[in-house]
Chain A
Amino acid sequence: EAQVTQNPRYLITVTGKKLTVTCSQNMNHEYMSWYRQDPGLGLRQIYYSMNVEVTDKGDVPEGYKVSRKEKRNFPLILESPSPNQTSLYFCASSWTGGNGYTFGSGTRLTVV
């Protein structure tokens, strides 16, 4: 089944403790992206990647890092999480930059 898999689905962590949210897609998509969703603000792009070893900042990149060493994986790294990064995070992939994104099921992160 074609899908985008994120892990974990839920995560509670403490301020400053580094964490990684994994994202993997099995559709051989070139384009992958991370979004955060907050009440009243919709979906905001954090980082995106056009292909392996090519990443770029989205609208809200501060406090996040990404890497794209393999086509299928696009992990999101929070080196020193803070409470304002408490949010619902979605990974998405597509053949090109916009046509028919496939989204993962989300990761709900709470930073205390």
Chain B
Amino acid sequence: GQQLNQSPQSMFIQEGEDVSMNCTSSSIFNTWLWYKQDPGEGPVLLIALYKAGELTSNGRLTAQFGITRKDSFLNISASIPSDVGIYFCAGQPGGADGLTFGKGTHLIIQP
């Protein structure tokens, strides 16, 4: 199947810092999604992107759908302790296709 390269694999940051993570693919996606997973729970959708070049915010989170349709990034501004968790990108080639997930970015925040 298709693969997404998500980086970094993990991040150790101080509370209040900004965070940036990204995903790249060798093939085109028509939808990019970003999820967050808290310990012991299933992933929860944060932001969905449907158009190349689209920039979307959800509170302190901002994500962009790359112009080439082969990449996406997620930024978190002014991190707080509850931002801790695993963040996954996911791409969908077409409307009837399933999602392909990146391997996740593990965010750890030091107070």
Which A positions have Cβ atoms within 8 angstroms of B? 4, 33, 35, 40-45, 48, 50, 58-59, 90, 92, 96-106
Contact = CB atoms under 8 A, between A and B. Distances in A.
Interface residues of B, number: 26
Given A42-B101, A43-B101, A103-B44, A59 B1 contact: yes
Nearest to A44: B101
A40 B98 contact: no
Interface stretch (B52-60, B64-72, B89-97): B89-97
22 contacts: A35-B101, A41-B103, A42-B103, A43-B101, A44-B101, A45-B98, A45-B99, A48-B98, A50-B96, A97-B92, A97-B98, A97-B99, A98-B31, A98-B33, A98-B92, A98-B99, A100-B33, A101-B43, A101-B90, A103-B42, A104-B42, A106-B42
A76 B95 CA distance: 24
B76 interface: no
A59 B44 CA distance: 22
B45 A101 contact: yes
B41 A58 contact: no
A58 B42 contact: no
Contact of B95 (A33, A90, A96, A106): A96
A97 B96 CA distance: 5
Nearest to A104: B42
Contacts of B102: 42
Contacts of B98: 33, 45, 48, 58, 97-98
Interface in B14-30: none
